[in-house]
Amino acid sequence: MKIYPGIDYQYRPTNYWEDDLLLQAILRNVKGTLRREMIIDHWEAGRYEILKDELKTASLPKKVRRELGQIHPAFMGGEYLPDNRARETEIARIELKSTTCDVISIRARPKDQDILYAIVDEYESEFDLARDSSQKPFTLAELIAFIDGSTQADFAQGLALCYSDMNAESSSRKDMRHFTVVSSDVYPKLKEHYEHVFDDWVNEEEIDC
């Protein structure tokens, strides 16, 4: 793993289930990508209370989900993720700039003295996890190792770059630079780390040329 300046890779949250930051607590289990953006925009503008309650929920009612999908497929991004198990929460997500804005959700849930991890998407894909559990929440470095070491069936490469790499086969890395976004409401610096990773990925192609 490459270390980038200004990022505390030893940062470790106290736990995944109590949060002093209310916005993070609200967002953590909201599935839809565009709904999450809507909530953030309204929160920062001091207008969160005017949002309809159904738009703030983890899962949209089927009728509302169908109506939004008729407006544009992008509204479906993340909305078809499976429901969380009991006490399960999202700790990071991978968002793809595909037609339907697909999302891969990284989740954690407590069991006895351990934390169990899962990776899910909207297509019931199979994922090979770098590790299944830990006794404490990941440090940022450990979460990055988990993402980079976990794979989806048919992809040999880790989850952060495999989707961009696949699409770059018929395009250029420069065109695919913003295809994948890795972020977390629990680890604020996760997105910054991977923005550097994607920049390096593009630069590697330009150097080879």
Read off the pLDDT of residues 66-79 as tens digits, 9 standing for 90 and up. Answer: 887 777 777 788 99
pLDDT at residue 76, as a whole number? 82
User: What pLDDT digit, counting tens, does each position of 80-93 carry?
Assistant: 999 999 889 999 99
Hey, what are 208's tokens?
Answer: 């080879």
Tokens of 80: 């078809």
Statement: residue 102 has pLDDT above 90:
yes
pLDDT class for 208, splitting at 50, 70, 90? low
pTM: 0.86
Residue 157 is which amino acid? Q
Q: What is the structure's pLDDT at 174?
A: 95
Work out the average pLDDT over 125-129: 96
Cα-based distances in Å from 18 to 22, 25, 26, 110, 113: 10, 8, 11, 13, 17
Looking at this protein, which amino acid is placed at residue 16? Y
